[in-house]
Amino acid sequence: MSAPNNATHAPDGPEPELVARARAGDREAFATLYYEHYRLVYSFLLIRTRNRHLAEDLTQEVFTRALRRINAFTWQGTAFAAWLITIAKNLYLDELGRGRTRLETPVAEFLDPQEPGRGPESLALRELEAVEAHETVRTALHTLNAQQRHCVQLRYLDELTPQETAEAMGRSVGAVKALTHRALQKLRWTAGAVAV
C-alpha cells in the first residue's frame, strides 16, 4: 500500500514513521501510537464527560475510528495528536446530541426561588450571558492567526494543559507558552481597542 502524496510533508521524527507503518498495516506501530496518545485523548474526554467509564469508552472509540481511517490522516501542519483530539471532540459532540452526556444542575439551585439569583429567570439569563460571551470569544479569536487560534482553542476552550497542547500541536511547551502569550496580548489589545 503506497502512502498518500502529502506524506512527504510529514515532519521528521519517529511519529511520521509510525503513522506510515500503521498505514501499511503494521499493528505494532499503531499500538505504539495508541500508548503514546491514550492519556491525552482520555484526559480530553474525561474533562468534558466528567464520567470515567464514558471517557474510557469514548477513548476506545477514538482509536477504533483512527485505525479505520488512518489512511485519511494527512500532515497539514498539525500533529497526529491533534487529529485524534478532533475525532474525540466529534465523538463527544455526538454523545451530547444523543443526550447521554448531560451537565447536571444541582437541585439546590431550584429549591428556594425566593433567594436572589436562584430562580428560573436568573438561570436563563446566566445561560444567555454564557452564549453571548461565547460569541464574543469566537469573534475575538478570528483576529488571531491560525496557529495562535489553534493554540488558544486547545488551551482554553478544550482545557488542555500546556504539555498536552504542545503534544497536540507538535511543538515544545516553551513554544506553546510563547504562542499563548502573544495570542493573549493580541486579544487584550483587540478588546481594549473595541472598548475605546
All structural domains of the chain with their residue ranges: 5-98, 119-195
Per-residue pLDDT of the chain (196 residues; tens, 9 = 90+): 333 333 434 445 578 888 989 999 999 999 999 999 999 999 889 888 888 999 999 999 999 999 999 988 876 666 888 899 989 998 988 888 776 544 444 444 444 444 555 555 555 566 556 555 656 666 777 788 888 888 887 887 777 888 888 888 888 989 989 988 888 888 777 666 544 4
Match 484526559 to its residue by C-alpha cell. 43
Residues 91 and 140: their CA atoms lie apart, in Å, by 26
CB 165 within 8 A of CB 176: yes
Residues 90 and 93: their CA atoms lie apart, in Å, by 5
CA distances from 40 to 81, 85, 101, 132, 179 (A): 8, 8, 20, 30, 20
CATH 1.10.10.10 fits 119-195, yes or no: yes
Prediction pTM value: 0.53
φ/ψ region of 50 (left if φ > 0, alpha if ψ in -120 to 50, else beta) reads left
Residues 140 and 120: their CA atoms lie apart, in Å, by 30
- CATH code: domain 5-98 is 1.10.1740.10
Residue 161 grid coordinates: 494543559
